[in-house]
Amino acid sequence: MLSYQHAYHAGNAADVHKHALLSIALAYLTKKDKPLTYLETHAGRAVYDLSATESIKTGEAAQGIERLESWFDSDHPYKTAIQAARAAFGAQAYPGSPYIAASLLRDMDRIVLSELHPQEADALRNAMPYADVRQADGPALALSVTPPDPRRGLCLIDPAYEVKSEYQAMPVLLNKLHRKWPVGILMLWYPILTTGAERQMAETLRHMDAEKTMLSQVRFPPAKQGHGMIGSGLFVINPPWGLEAAAASLQTQFERL
Ligand code: SAM
């Protein structure tokens, strides 16, 4: 049974990195008047309450979005998504990646989300009744729906790495998805840990057989003494225009922490 719950971690520094870059990519894609597909393999519950016990307990949001929000101007697409969540769910709401996507996408776009945990999948359906939510294994679902219709689009892969074999499985999944959907933008998130458990995977990603790739890694102090996560990585196949520049500027901000 899955025990990971993103409620403990929502809005942490890694979410800020991942969500800010996801927003930039989607804002660019939606400039073109053509529909797209947004696909997510590990969606979570869409909206989090930063005043909830889980969030207070880890203190991760306090070291994340609550501290770093001033980095983003009011017209930054990440800020647009945060404001949309607050307007709909209250001042303490924080948008997960599916809600960020929904805030930036248009009626003509398609949203397909996979979340295996029954409670999280229910919460996701309640928060986003207009999305195609499947309580299913995300990697299997992504492989079964690609290439999607519409063919333009983006897939976010954001596992909890609760199962250690995910570090080996994710590059294999990316390879398969890229071969089935060569024009798709594929984003894989991973944590940077004191144990270095992600290093071998990051090395494999660097040698991925794809024409255009991007790797953004940022480091930050652990949210609390003894926390194992000290950074965040985002690997992208077919990064859209502007994403590398946004990643470089975000990296400068994180280096100042
Ligand atoms: N992407 C979300 C965000 O940024 O707001 C956070 C997702 S969280 C890191 C990972 C989620 O994947 C958890 O909600 C967990 O229940 C779910 N999960 C774990 N294994 C899964 C699988 N094989 N297929 C689909 N979802 C899975």
| Confidence band of 2 (pLDDT split at 50, 70, 90) | confident
Mean pLDDT for the chain overall? 97
Ligand 1 neighbours, Cβ below 6 Å, are 2, 4, 6, 15, 41-44, 96-97, 114-117, 120, 137-138, 158, 160
Answer whether residue 116 shows pLDDT above 70. Answer: yes
Please give the distance, rounded to the nearest whole angstrom, from the Cα atom of residue 250 to the centre of ligand 1. 24
Degrees to nearest 5, angle at CA 100 with 204 and 149: 70
What pLDDT score does 1 carry?
A: 64
Q: Which of 73, 132, 158, 209 is catalytic?
A: 158
Q: What distance in Å separates the CA atoms of residue 238 and residue 215, rounded to the nearest whole number?
A: 11
Q: What distance in Å separates the CA atoms of residue 229 and residue 127, rounded to the nearest whole number?
A: 29
Average pLDDT for 16-30: 98
Q: What distance in Å separates the CA atoms of residue 157 and residue 137, rounded to the nearest whole number?
A: 12
Please give the distance, rounded to the nearest whole angstrom, from the Cα atom of residue 161 to the centre of ligand 1. 9
Q: What distance in Å separates the CA atoms of residue 154 and residue 89, rounded to the nearest whole number?
A: 26
Convert the pLDDT of each residue in 53-91 to its tens digit. Answer: 999 999 999 999 999 999 999 999 999 999 999 999 999
Please give the distance, rounded to the nearest whole angstrom, from the Cα atom of residue 189 to the centre of ligand 1. 11
Convert the pLDDT of each residue in 120-140 to its tens digit. Answer: 999 999 999 999 999 999 999
- Amino acid type, 215: L
To test ligand 1's pocket by mutation, which of 3, 5, 6 has the most ligand atoms within 8 angstroms of CB? 6
Convert the pLDDT of each residue in 225-249 to its tens digit. Answer: 989 999 999 999 999 999 999 999 9
Q: What distance in Å separates the CA atoms of residue 195 and residue 247, rounded to the nearest whole number?
A: 25
- What does the DSSP 8-state code read for residue 61? H
Average pLDDT for 214-221: 97
To test ligand 1's pocket by mutation, which of 19, 21, 42 has the most ligand atoms within 8 angstroms of CB? 42
Q: Which of 73, 76, 86 has its CA nearest to residue 11?
A: 86
Convert the pLDDT of each residue in 31-43 to its tens digit. Answer: 999 999 999 999 9
- What does the DSSP 8-state code read for residue 254? H
59: left (phi over 0), alpha (psi -120 to 50) or beta: left
Is 158 designated active site?
yes
Convert the pLDDT of each residue in 190-204 to its tens digit. Answer: 999 999 999 999 999
Answer whether residue 50 shows pLDDT above 80. Answer: yes
Segment (H or E) for 50: none
